[in-house]
Amino acid sequence: MRTTEPLRIDAQRRRLIKAAAATVAVSAGSTLAFPALAQAKPFAGVKLRGAAYQHGFFNILRKYIPEFEAQTGMMVDLQLSAFPVYNQQADLELSSGGSAWDFCNVTFILAARWVAAGLLANLDDFSNDRKLTPASWNPDDFVKGAQLPYLDKAGKTFGYSWEGGAMLMGISRTDLMKKRGVEAPRTFDELMKVCDAVNGQDGGSGPVTGFVSSNLHHWFLPPYIQGYGGDLFVNPPTDIKPALDTPASIEATAFYTTLLSKYGPQGVLGYTEDQARAALISGRSNIFIHSSSWVTAMLTSPDSKVKDTARVMRMPAGPKGDFPAANSQGLGIPKNAKNKEAAWEFIKWTLSPELTARIVKDTGHPSICRRSVIESAEYKRINTVNGQDIGKLYLEVLDMPSKTHNYMAYRTVKEFPLIGDVVNKAVERVVSGQMPPAESMKSAQEAALGSLRRAGAKV
């Protein structure tokens, strides 16, 4: 028995794996087939360890991981933690040269720092190797604008984007706008006029505010600064001297803080993203400008009370141009990972066109970064709501930083988190009445210079 029992168990295991593979083969007959792996169980016995932050995408992915494990023979240990906690853990793990993780999330705001410091593996070595990656995987299919944070100066790739964020404008109460005789705003000036027209109007269960936002001012303010012709740095990413006290930055801060203080709900400085979203989908606030996944809830959430009056469109443009914020999150491999090829197999599978399309079909998850799937008929069918092609708007904005100049370069500067904190405080001072915009931004400039110099940056 001692010699035959292991053989019998192994035979049973092979039959189970064969049955699982047959199930996958059946689904491969459709256009949304499960991706085929390069070879059968090349990583049997490998325990793959990875980490990321808590996000709906990874909750979806976990439902498919058992199929990947069955095909490859490896086990996947995916650790998720809160966004700030993960970033602290990842920064420490990577900067210390640790090898505890085989793959990890490459956080947008930290990507430039990690890439510049050589903390991640060059993924071109895997994606361009035909023994490891079929040509059909097609790295060029990823939306170029979403890939910019994960490229070094030579154009080498250190991450592939799994999540895209495209800033759009959600309007919840077009019925009130019609009564007040105002159209959907397409410029900054029109935005202010619409907020003024709607603010304080009776929404049926109380007065409606013209505008709402959350406390992530380092994300919301820059598009206004750029719309007035400025930037957070003089010329990012090469010249990172802060540019917070320029006329453009001061004018933008005055504009944005007016939206918050005059047309926002009481206590808006303390609003989280969830609170701002709730105000929008309940119809208590008319306009929320944020990443598409936050504002499209007006049309898709079962809790929305404004589906019949909601509209999603591009963020209004400033007098000096149109610069809606766009970002992404990527998956990468730490430089000192122990199982790099196994990690690539997981990333390749996770971000394959086949699984991406399958996830869209099964769950409706919209914020993907493969152009071929975004432009597919299935994606358009799922993401056309009330006649609004949300996918088209999402793709336009996500790719905009690659069309002319990368106006999102400020956010890939490795010292950006220091500037982000300064910007948040500057906005809070103005909205709370502690300082006028010019004084607050001058103070912010001095604080930013001090923070950068203490961090060793040349400014």
| Contacts of residue 53, Cβ cutoff 8 Å, sequence gap at least 6 | 80, 81, 82, 83, 85, 86, 87, 105, 107
Quick one: pLDDT at residue 268? Answer: 96
Q: What is the pLDDT of residue 41?
A: 79
Quick count: other Cβ atoms within 10 Å of Cβ 404? 9
User: What mean pLDDT value characterizes the chain?
Assistant: 90
Angle, helices 247-263/188-198, rounded to nearest 10 degrees: 20
**Considering only CA atoms, which of 261, 296, 251, 272 is closest in space to residue 393?**
296
Answer yes or no: are the C-beta atoms of 261 and 196 closer than 8 Å.
no
Distant-in-sequence, close-in-space partners of 385: CB < 8 Å, separation ≥ 6: 296, 299, 300
Rounded-to-integer distance, Cα 181 and Cα 204, Å: 19
Burial classification of residue 68, based on how many CB atoms lie within 10 Å of its CB (0-12 exposed, 13-18 middle, 19 or more buried): buried
Structure tokens at 454: 């203490």
Residue ranges in the chain whose pLDDT is less than 50: 1-34, 36-38
- The reported pLDDT for the residue numbered 40 is 61
Residue with tokens 């510049």: 116
Cα-Cα end-to-end distance for the chain: 74
Question: What pLDDT was estimated at residue 113?
Answer: 86
Look-up of token digits 């494990």: 69
Nearest CA to 166 out of 371, 370, 401, 365 is that of 401
Q: What pTM does this model have? A: 0.85
Look up tokens 């990413």; give the residue: 237
- Sign for the pseudo-dihedral over CA of 121, 124, 130, 134: positive
Residue from 164, 161, 157, 67 nearest 351 by CA? 161
